[in-house]
Amino acid sequence: MKRVKAIYPGSFDPPTNGHLDLIERGRKIFDELVVAILRNPEKDPLFSLSDRRKMLEVMTADFDNVSVDTFDGLTVDYAMRVDASVVLRGIRAISDYEYELQMALMNRKLQPGLETVFMMPAEKYSYLSSRLVREVAQLGGNIDCLVPDLVAQKLREKMDPAHKFDNSEPAPKRSRKKQS
């Protein structure tokens, strides 16, 4: 029988409980799931690529059909390289839909054989985004129920002035898009 391999691409800056919820759902319906972190030179991430990778590896350590990887360039090209036939994306609210639809249709135009599958995280995570987690943490709010313990710990370290200048990745501008 054909095995279905999916990629779950994203920024994961930082990974949240919503991401983890989606990974848990995705791994039940796909034979293999690769969490693929985009290396995006246009973004100024809070966490380095290797930090994000480590956090996701710890979060998914118990899931035998889930792996974590990083990629550059087009998602469709990465999917072809790793022989995946599905792109998994989460939709939390109707506001996500327009951006996700555009991306899914563009990806289909670029690679007609690749299907995008949307899944909804648990309702309790429908308001949760990495951007809001970063903001709440930066302003001293409690993020304990929003991210796994390890991520909460890393965020606290980032907010500690002693760790503030620890991020080695380059800076520049942000573009308007869905809050990841």
Residue (99 or 140) nearer to ligand PNS, CB: 99
Residue (107 or 154) nearer to ligand PNS, CB: 107
Of 31, 106, 149, 164, the one binding ligand PNS (CB under 6 A) is 106
Cβ atoms of 58 and 68 closer than 8 Å: no
130 catalytic per annotation = yes
Of 74, 138, 153, 157, the one binding ligand PNS (CB under 6 A) is 74
Taking the complex as a whole, the smallest distance from the CB of residue 161 to ligand PNS amounts, in Å, to 28
Residue with tokens 């034979």: 31
19 catalytic per annotation = yes
Q: What DSSP letter does each residue of 88-123 carry, written as one string?
A: EEE--SHHHHHHHHHHHHHHHHH-TTPEEEEEPPPG
Distant-in-sequence, close-in-space partners of 153: CB < 8 Å, separation ≥ 6: none
Task: Name the phi and psi angles at 157, rounded to 5.
Answer: -60, -40
Q: Contact between 117 and ligand PNS (CB under 6 A)?
A: no
Residue (74 or 164) nearer to ligand PNS, CB: 74
Tokens linked to 131: 């951007």
Catalytic machinery residues: 19, 43, 92, 130
